[in-house]
Amino acid sequence: MTLASTADLVHNAARIGTGIAAFNVVHLETAEALVAASESSGRPIILQISQNCADYHGGLEPIGLAALALARSAGTPVAVHLDHAEREDIVAEAIDLGFGSVMFDGGALPYDENVELTARVAAQAHAAGVFVEGELGRVGGKDGAHAPGVRTDPEEAIEFVRATGVDALAVAVGSSHAMTDRTARLDLDLITLLRDALDVPLVLHGSSGVPDTELRAGIRAGMTKINISTHLNGVFTRAVHSWMGAHPEVVDSRRYVGEGRDALVPEAARLLDLIGAAQTQTSPMLMR
């Protein structure tokens, strides 16, 4: 199986009215677990590497090349995506490495500056055949901006997509980054309005805090790309804590990190099935 195209995975999900899972890579072991989950479930997946993750590894290239290698050798369609990039240089590096998509996050910037920078990134990426995700307003969490009550305005979203040329849009509809409990409630009416107003797929960030029933409902209402990180990190970390507590004498880190990797596979596979099987109650979006 060759490296999959993010555009193909997202557009196919939008056409048939299902979701496509985009799970974040933290280190090699999470990438291995996510690919194993894709293969065990038979579902496609988008591996996401954030700017923060790249910085942790001392640069995008080490973890990026590892993810690309895993994707190319996978038995299921696996794409690689740059998540929450706030610097143009890392976008250029992702394009050069062979990433199929990039997300430029100008959500914390004033609207006009966000439009200018996102449009510039989109033009650069499109020249290389790379799919671009933008963000209008910061999705809640992390630095406290955009509390869960904040919502994306459909009219502003229409203008933003037109002005920037992005291929997908991350919207604020009730989710929040870095939630460790799954209690978020999505604004389903707003999702439907945004879906009907825009001709690009919608992206749900902060999905770790969204319970299964709400994820299904959000996809039925019109969300397509579903991003999850914190919830899966918690599964991994709890498995490591449990194993180390039972084996305090062990010093070989592969033993406990391997436990985290193995524990992550079934939960990631379960979520892949949940997201890939959910389907809209109305006509799926027709991509132009």
User: For residues 195 and 285, is the Cβ–Cβ distance under 8 A?
Assistant: yes
| Whether residue 52 has pLDDT greater than 90 | yes
Kindly report the CA angle at 69 between 45 and 123, in degrees rounded to 5?
70
- The predicted structure's pLDDT at residue 286: 44
The mean pLDDT of the chain is 88
User: For residues 97 and 91, is the Cβ–Cβ distance under 8 A?
Assistant: no
Q: Which residue has 């050069």 as its token pair?
A: 96
Quick check: is 83 catalytic? yes
* Spatial distance between the Cα atoms of 264 and 63, rounded to a whole number of angstroms: 19
3-state secondary structure of 170: strand
* 84 annotated to bind ligand: yes
* 135 annotated to bind ligand: yes
79-129 pLDDT, tens digit per residue, is 999 999 999 999 999 999 999 999 998 877 888 899 999 999 999 999 999
* Spatial distance between the Cα atoms of 138 and 205, rounded to a whole number of angstroms: 10
Mind listing the domains of the chain with CATH numbers? 6-277 (3.20.20.70)
* Spatial distance between the Cα atoms of 93 and 114, rounded to a whole number of angstroms: 20
User: For residues 37 and 268, is the Cβ–Cβ distance under 8 A?
Assistant: yes
* Spatial distance between the Cα atoms of 160 and 154, rounded to a whole number of angstroms: 10
| Whether residue 141 has pLDDT greater than 50 | no
* 259 annotated to bind ligand: no
- The predicted structure's pLDDT at residue 210: 80
Share of the chain above pLDDT 70, in %: 86
143-156 pLDDT, tens digit per residue, is 433 345 667 888 98
Q: What is the mean pLDDT of residues 195-212?
A: 86
Q: What are phi and psi of 136, to 5 degrees?
A: -105, 105
* Tokens of residue 182, six digits: 């799954």
* Tokens of residue 246, six digits: 């039972």
Q: What is the mean pLDDT of residues 18-41?
A: 97
User: For residues 141 and 150, is the Cβ–Cβ distance under 8 A?
Assistant: no
**Better-predicted residue by pLDDT, 76 or 178:** 76
The catalytic position among 8, 83, 96, 112 is 83
